[in-house]
Structures are given as C-alpha cells and as structure tokens.
Chains A and B, each alone.
Chain A
Amino acid sequence: MAVDPEITRLHLREELGAVRELAATNRWGIVPDFGRLVVLATMYAHTGDLFILEIQCDNYREIPPLFEFIDPVTGERGTKNAYPKAKDSLFHTSGPCICAPFNRKAYKSVVETGPHSDWALGDWQTSTANNVQWANFSKIGDMLGVIYSRLSRPDWFEGRMK
C-alpha cells in the first residue's frame, strides 16, 4: 500500500531535524527535497574524498529508502567509482550497493543485482541479519551514521571501489 507522501515528509522532517547537530559536527551536507521525497547528502572520508548520496524515500517508512552514490566528478549514479570501499561488506560490489536491510537496493526482489533474495522488505526495521540490531539503523540519521563510520576511520576506509 502506498504511503501518503505527507506522512513520509513528517518522518523526514523529524529524523533530519534530530541529526542536524551531528551533521554539522561531521560536516555532512543534507539537502532534502520534500516535494520529490529525495534527500541528497554529502560527506567526506578522513582522506578528504567527497562522497555524494542520493536517498529516495518514496513510501518511507513502510519500505526502506533506496540509497545510491553519485560520482562527484562525472555525476554518474551507481558506478563503482562513486562508491567507497570498506574493510567489511557494507559497500557491496553487487550493484554496487549499500548492503544493509535499510537499503532497498540490497533486495533482489527490488533490484536484480541486489545481493539478498533472503530478506523480506517489510522486515527492514526489525531485521537482525548478521547478528546486527538493524532497528538501530532505522532512521535516516542512523543510516548516514553507519555509512560515515566506514568513511571516517582509517582502519575501515579503503578508498573508492573502482
């Protein structure tokens, strides 16, 4: 069932408001387009590399958002050069995609390249896949936070996926 866009806008306003101070601390740029229900976010790796995220939030929170990285030089969406590489599989080469229940692109039922046919879209807020409490990553700010955790730490960040 489709979510009333006004309900989605209320969620976005609340969640983006909550993360405002942390975003300023971490130098994240967050630009919501409440009309299109899309959020653009920018963040820097500890090396100074810029990463750009597009977050499609239609039907949020019934289904998770769809995250895509945008190449800061070419503007191309979803290329490996647009994606970071980390020491774990949060940034997955299949797609590529952010491999987490909070990303629609990780579900094979949504995108053919999605690594997971074993996840149900409706469980995204309560998933415990990989023994992680994904409820802790069920707000837009949480999702940005876990992405940034891979960019900000020298022991996790391994440059661009390329």
Chain B
Amino acid sequence: MNQGDKMLDIKVQSTRGTMDFSFLKEKKVADAINEVVKKFGFAPGDKFELVFPANPGEPLKPERPLVSYHITDGMVLVLTAIGGGV
C-alpha cells in the first residue's frame, strides 16, 4: 500500500472559508477537528464538530476514525462551532 492509499483528501467548509485537507484514513475525528480548527485560525478550547453537509444535525463522533464514515477523496465536511448562550 502506498502512502496515497492511506490518505484522504477532503475539503472542509467553515464560516471562515473552505480549505483542503489531507488526513490519514485512520485519523480520529477529534484529531482531525483539532487540525482543522488550528488551520482556520480559531481559538482552541471551544467545542467544534465536523458534520456532513446533508446531515448537520448528526455530528461525527470524535472517537471514531474518519474511514469508519466511508469518507472518500473529494468529499466535503463542514466544521461547526457550538459556542454557548450566556
């Protein structure tokens, strides 16, 4: 298996733009979120989630690897920040 077979090339949309990402297929969703949050320049420490565009009500579970969601090259995920009411 070459390196390319181990990687997922996806796009992530956020409120601050759209960026390309290349992740190991086995990478946990939580680790991918941390990487995405950093690259978009959000402050760490808040709750962020990744969702499929067609299903924003069901965030990807942070403990699961990306590959378990059958994510394939070219797919788009959406980064969501939850924040809080005060």
Contacts and interface: CB of A to CB of B under 8 A. Distances in A.
B16 interface: yes
Interface in B1-38: 13-18
Interface string A75-102: 0000000000010111110000001110
Nearest to A153: B57
Given A22-B15, A26-B56, A145 B81 contact: yes
Contacts of B56: 26, 46, 148-149, 152-153
B42 to A, nearest CB: 5
B84 A90 contact: yes
B18 A21 contact: yes
Interface in A88-142: 88-92, 99-101, 116, 129-137, 139, 141-142
A21 B78 CA distance: 10
Contacts of A89: 85-86
A155 interface: yes
Contacts of B81: 136-137, 142, 145-146, 149
Nearest to B12: A22
Q: How large is the interface on B (under 10, 10 to 19, 20 to 34, 35 or more residues)?
A: 20 to 34
A91 to B, nearest CB: 7
A31 interface: no
A22 B86 CA distance: 26
Nearest to A46: B57
A25 interface: yes
Nearest to B83: A146
Given A19-B17, A22-B15, 19 more contacts: A18-B17, A22-B13, A22-B78, A25-B13, A25-B76, A26-B78, A86-B85, A88-B84, A89-B86, A90-B84, A129-B86, A132-B46, A133-B43, A135-B43, A142-B15, A142-B81, A149-B83, A154-B57, A155-B57
Interface of A: 18-19, 21-22, 25-26, 46, 86, 88-92, 99-101, 116, 129-137, 139, 141-142, 144-146, 148-149, 152-155
